[in-house]
Amino acid sequence: MNKFILIVEDYPETLSMLLTFLESEGYTVKAAESGEEALRLVSEQKFDIILLDIMLPRVDGFEVSRRIKSDPKTKDIPIIAITAFDVRNIKDKCYEAGINEIFLKPLDLPGLLEIIKKYVP
């Protein structure tokens, strides 16, 4: 059974790297480059997990997570925040927004895969 991952990332190089890596691991991957696009995709398709950049233009990752977690149809989708900011208030804000895990950039792809497999075996 295919596992569906949504990657929400506005930096093209990071997005491309994640897409290539996760597809090579056998996942079906969709990408969104904005919070608005991510919310639209989540309303149209079921995802097993979401990798969510926090610093997005217009609708940031915190708001995307809050909206996903407030909808009974999508509230159980695990969300992994991906951020370059390793500061306490970012972590607190992530957890307050309903994010399940925080993963710091630069990306350690094998480490990220371990976290994904924790939620999507």
Q: How many domains is the chain built from?
A: 1
CATH of the domain at 27: 3.40.50.2300
pTM check: above 0.85: yes
Interaxial angle between packed helices 61-70 and 35-44, expressed in degrees from 0 to 180 and rounded to the nearest 10: 20
Structural domain for 92, as ranges: 4-119
Print pLDDT tens along the chain (121 aa). Answer: 689 999 999 999 999 999 999 999 999 999 999 999 999 999 999 999 999 999 998 899 999 999 999 999 999 999 999 988 777 788 889 999 999 999 988 889 999 999 999 999 8
Listed residue (116, 118, 109) closest to 6, CA to CA: 116
